Structures are given as structure tokens and as C-alpha cells.
Amino acid sequence: MKTKLATTCFVIGTLLAPVAAIAADTIERHSDRAHPMTWVKDSVITTKIKAKLAADHPGSMKHIQVDTDKDGVVWLTGTANSQAEIDAAIATARHTEHVKSVWSDLKIENDR
């Protein structure tokens, strides 16, 4: 019985080792993300972009999500009514202070 328990613990430990390594790597890579000032900076950039988008395109803003990572990279996802709105949203994000680059996964989908 003791060998069965020991074998089970060994197998579980072996299977969990890669998970622990990935978690440690993720924590190390994003360690400053937990710092409050980094989070505030990211939130300020995201809020500025959302406010500008809401002022420029109030109807389609509800379909665009904005996220900013610790390096000032902005991610735009969701839908817009036209390519012109997508281009305007990207330009708005690019011209916001402290934005390093913008990645867009916006698609055209007209409101019904």
C-alpha cells in the first residue's frame, strides 16, 4: 500500500513539474505587471483611448474592446461598422500618449 501511494505521488509530481515551470516563467516575465504603478499606467492609457473613441464614434464604441499591456502595446478587438471606423480607432490609439504600438483584431460588422 505504501509503494502504491509513493508511486502515485511520484507520478503526480512528475506531471506537475512542467506546470510549475511555466507558472514561474510567467510570473518572472510579468513581475512588474503586479506593481501598482504599472497597472495604473496601463489603465490610464486604456481609459484615454476609450474616452477618445467614445467621443469620436459613440455608436460603435460599445463593440470595441481596448486592452493595454505593460509595455504600452494596445490591443483593439471587436467590431466596427466600416473600415473607416477601424482606421479611425487605430489612429486614435496610435496617437495616444505612451502608446508604443497598436495591434488590431477589429472586424467589420454592421449594427442591426
The count of C-alpha atoms lying within 13 angstroms of the C-alpha of 76, restricted to the half-sphere facing its C-beta, is 29
**Rounded CA separation 84/68 (Å):** 22
Cα 90 to Cα 57, 86, 99, 101, distances in angstroms = 12, 6, 11, 10
Q: What is the structure's pLDDT at 94?
A: 94
The 3-state DSSP composition of the chain as helix, strand, coil percent (nearest 5) reads: 60, 20, 20
2 — pLDDT class (breaks 50, 70, 90): confident
pTM beyond 0.75? no
pLDDT digits (tens, 9 = 90+) for 21-79: 555 544 444 445 555 555 556 788 888 898 888 887 666 667 889 999 888 899 999 99
Residue 3, pLDDT > 70, answer yes
